[in-house]
Amino acid sequence: MGSYPMELPHVRPGKMTDSETMPKVVAFFRDASLGNTVIQLVAQLGVPSDRIGVTPPERMPKGRGMLASFGCPNDSIMEKVEILCRKQGAEIHRQRT
C-alpha cells in the first residue's frame, strides 16, 4: 500500500441498528472491480450493509485500488469474509475495537 497516510473509509448510508462495536476485516484490493464484487457478496454472508466502509479509487494514492472495511457480527462471518477477500486478491487486516 505504500507509505501514504491512510484515510478512513467512507461509510455507506443506512440506519445503524446496533451501536455495539464489531470486529472488522479491512481489505486492500489492488483492483477496485474485485473490491466491488466482494462488497456485493458480503451482505449475503451476513454483514450488515451499514457496517461496510469504502475508500474508492479516486481517493486512493495514484487513483488505483480500493480499501474496504467490513464490520462482522461474529467470528464465523469474519472468517468467511476474509476467505472471500483473499480469493479476490485482497491484502487482509483484522481490527478488533
Say what the pLDDT of residue 1 is. Answer: 45
Angle formed by the axes of helices 32-45 and 75-87, nearest 10°: 150
Burial label for 5, CB within 10 Å (0-12, 13-18, 19+), is exposed
Give Cα separations from 49 to 13, 19, 21 (angstroms).
8, 14, 15
* Residue carrying the nine cell digits 487513483: 63
d(CA 84, CA 11): 20
- For the chain (97 residues), the mean pLDDT of every run of 10, in chain order, is 56 59 90 93 92 91 90 93 95 74
